[in-house]
Amino acid sequence: LWIQLDSNAELYFKVKFGKKISSLAGKVVWITGASSGLGRSLAILLASHGIKLVLSARRVDELNKVQQNCLNAARGQLQVKDILVLRMDVLEINKHEELLEIVIKNFGHLDILVSNAGRSLRADWVNIDLDVDKAVFDLDVFCPVHLARIVIRYFLKNKIDGHIAVTSSSSSLTPTPNMSSYIAAKSAINAYFHALNMDYPQIKTTIYCIGPFFSKIQEEAFTGRLGEKYGVSINSINTLQRMSPERSAFLFAVAIANEISMCWAGLYPFNFMVYLKNYPSLYNIAVNIFNWRDCIAKH
């Protein structure tokens, strides 16, 4: 069964029998990190269902291309005014509130925030400068938490039935080699949003722990030295099966539509290993049987 499934059981069930993505039609969704990869694919998919969008990233030229892709996918359901291109560097936290105001001014309201911007890391545990640890946490934890707090205050003040979704990683559930700071950051973002559910149960949240998929995440990843990029293309590595960004986006959208609080997706053996992590002794045996460390060392 775990060889066939590419998600956890709850998400698989919702794909088959849950709410359709089209149930979100007419809502306003703000996606950070929308210029490429998962964010781009999610935006295009949502547009095909008539969902209004705010597309944010640093590269406006790429966002403009995504906007056109979205209009093509919408096939008349959306106009240019329904897809806002909003340049954003999530590290500039002093501008978060101002950007939310622009979204509200343009659409009148916001329904869903998808915090997708971030960077991975590829470096050995002992050879990572502390400045890199701090940079990873700034980008992958503190910036999305800061933006979420601003948006949630807006939801509460205006009595909006709002939803916050965040892109996490399957590595936060089953650790992978040479990604320690990233694993710690994604584990932290999971914990922040679990705590949010405790403090504000009326705010809907979705933590999407995505496994390996085809993107430029590895090329853009931090190394152990601040200012460097890993620079190795995923296409040159064949150690793992990887999802397409389109399939990853579809599962994320289903999770949002069905208000799943936490889920994960990934091809075998990731899905299997996440489940097995609940049984430490069996997990440790499987790590050795699958030669897990070497199998995914370049993941």
Give per-residue pLDDT as tens, 64-108: 999 999 999 999 999 999 999 999 999 999 999 999 999 999 999
Burial track 111-128 (b if 16+ CB lie within 10 A, e otherwise) = bbbbbbbbbbbbbeeeeb
Which tens digit of pLDDT belongs to each residue from 213-236?
666 677 889 999 999 998 876 555
pLDDT at residue 288, rounded to an integer? 73
pLDDT at residue 279, rounded to an integer? 64
Percent pLDDT > 90 in the chain is: 75
Sheet holding 83-87, edge to edge: 83-87, 52-57, 28-32, 112-115, 163-169, 204-210, 262-265
Q: What is the CATH number of domain 9-295?
A: 3.40.50.720
pLDDT at 269 over 90: no
pLDDT at residue 275, rounded to an integer? 78
Provide mean pLDDT across the span 106-119.
Answer: 97
The C-alpha torsion from 42 through 61 and 65 to 77, rounded to 10°, is 70
Q: 182 catalytic, yes or no?
A: yes
Q: For the chain, what is the mean pLDDT?
A: 91
Q: d(Cα 152, Cα 278) in Å, to the nearest integer? A: 32
pLDDT at 242 over 70: yes
Predicted structure pTM score? 0.91
pLDDT band at 3 (very low <50, low <70, confident <90, very high): low
- Cis ω on the peptide bond leading into residue 212 (within 30° of 0)? no
HEC assignment per residue over the chain: CCCCCCECHHHHHHHHHCCCHHHHCCCEEEEECCCCHHHHHHHHHHHCCCCEEEEEECCHHHHHHHHHHHHHHHCCCCCHHHEEEEECCCCCHHHHHHHHHHHHHHHCCCCEEEECCCCCECECHHHCCHHHHHHHHHHHHHHHHHHHHHHHHHHHHCCCCCEEEEEEEHHHCCCCCCEHHHHHHHHHHHHHHHHHHHHCCCCEEEEEEECCECCCCCCCCECCCCCCECCCCHHHCCCCCCECHHHHHHHHHHHHHCCCCEEEECCCCHHHHHHHCCCHHHHHHHHHHCCHHHHCCCC
**Residue whose entry in the numeric block shows the structure tokens 């998808």:** 114
pLDDT at 153 over 60: yes
Q: d(Cα 218, Cα 298) in Å, to the nearest integer? A: 9
Catalytic residue among 182, 208, 230, 275: 182
Residues 6+ apart with CB under 8 A from 136: 119, 121, 181, 182, 184, 185, 222
pLDDT at residue 208, rounded to an integer? 97
Provide mean pLDDT across the span 228-250.
Answer: 77
| Ranges of each domain in the chain | 9-295
Q: d(Cα 20, Cα 45) in Å, to the nearest integer? A: 12
pLDDT at residue 95, rounded to an integer? 99
pLDDT at residue 235, rounded to an integer? 55
pLDDT at residue 139, rounded to an integer? 98
Which tens digit of pLDDT belongs to each residue from 159-217?
999 999 999 999 999 888 899 999 999 999 999 999 999 999 999 999 999 988 666 67
- β partners of residue 83: 53
Which tens digit of pLDDT belongs to each residue from 16-40?
999 999 999 999 999 999 999 999 9
pLDDT at residue 2, rounded to an integer? 62
pLDDT at residue 274, rounded to an integer? 82
pLDDT at residue 214, rounded to an integer? 63
pLDDT at 239 over 60: no
